[in-house]
Amino acid sequence: MRFRDKIAFVTGGGSGIGRAISHRLASEGAKVAVTDIILDAAKSTVTTVEQAGGSATAFRLDVRNAQEVAEVIDKTWQTLGRIDLLINNAGVSTMNRLVDLTEDDWDLNMDVNAKGVFLVSRAVIRKMLETDYGTERPKIVNIASMAGKLPGVFLAHYTASKFAVIGLTKATAMELAPYKINVNCVCPGFVTTSMQEREIRWEAKLSGTTPEKVREGYLRQVPLGRLAKPEDVATIVAFLCSHDADYMTGQAINVTGGQMTF
């Protein structure tokens, strides 16, 4: 039980990768604050975590709202005592040609994917720096994307937001290293989630092909021959949250089935 007595805070925990991360950390002993902009989704994750024998609490959280972020972080500290593990997972995507992108498309992706990581990290770090963790090392893990290293077609705005997450991760890691707080990020490739299913439909429409052809194209790009499951990402997040990763900080770890090697 690597995370016994640890408190984990997961954004976007109501579905997909966030739900898998919440389950993985809880299965190894963590008490998980599951947050999501859709409270019922967060509650659903809590229910499944508890059914599996874990411990979790649900909070509604819009990571774009600085006041709400501060309030939820305060409430978590009051009810659970502290936060040991922060996983910035909340993310969105839309898809279009650059010339057809709207400011709303740009703002949504940047506000959730990049600004949200900043706002939540800032609020949690302020608390972490006031907390005595003894010999323990708090961990922050941000969920970036393969698109943060390799630009995606029809994803200029999403790509920009994920490049920002990687840059923010590296800068934060350097700043927090003297305080023994590790900061890393994970760069998933093609992951079978509801968000990816939407992207497949969008890409098919924009490319004038079918969702089946798009999915086949994804598979051809992955040397290991399959798309990732959310649990594949959760496994690496758990590693980065553990003592096994105490000497790692400022890293952007690929989880792409071999598609990305740098």
- The encoded tokens of residue 196 equal 């990816």
Instruction: Enumerate residues 6+ apart whose C-beta is below 8 A from 258.
Output: 222, 223, 224
**Half-sphere exposure of residue 124, counting CA atoms within 13 Å on the CB side?**
29
β-partners of residue 8 are 32, 85
DSSP H helices in the chain = 16-27, 39-51, 66-80, 103-109, 116-128, 156-176, 194-207, 211-220, 230-241
Cβ(31)–Cβ(7) below 8 Å: yes
Instruction: Enumerate residues 6+ apart whose C-beta is below 8 A from 160.
Output: 109, 110
Ordered strands of the 31-36 beta sheet: 55-60, 31-36, 7-10, 85-88, 139-143, 182-188, 252-255
**DSSP at 69:** H
Respond yes or no: is residue 158 known to be catalytic. Answer: yes
The one catalytic residue in 158, 179, 218, 247 is: 158
- The encoded tokens of residue 161 equal 């937001």
Catalytic residues: 158
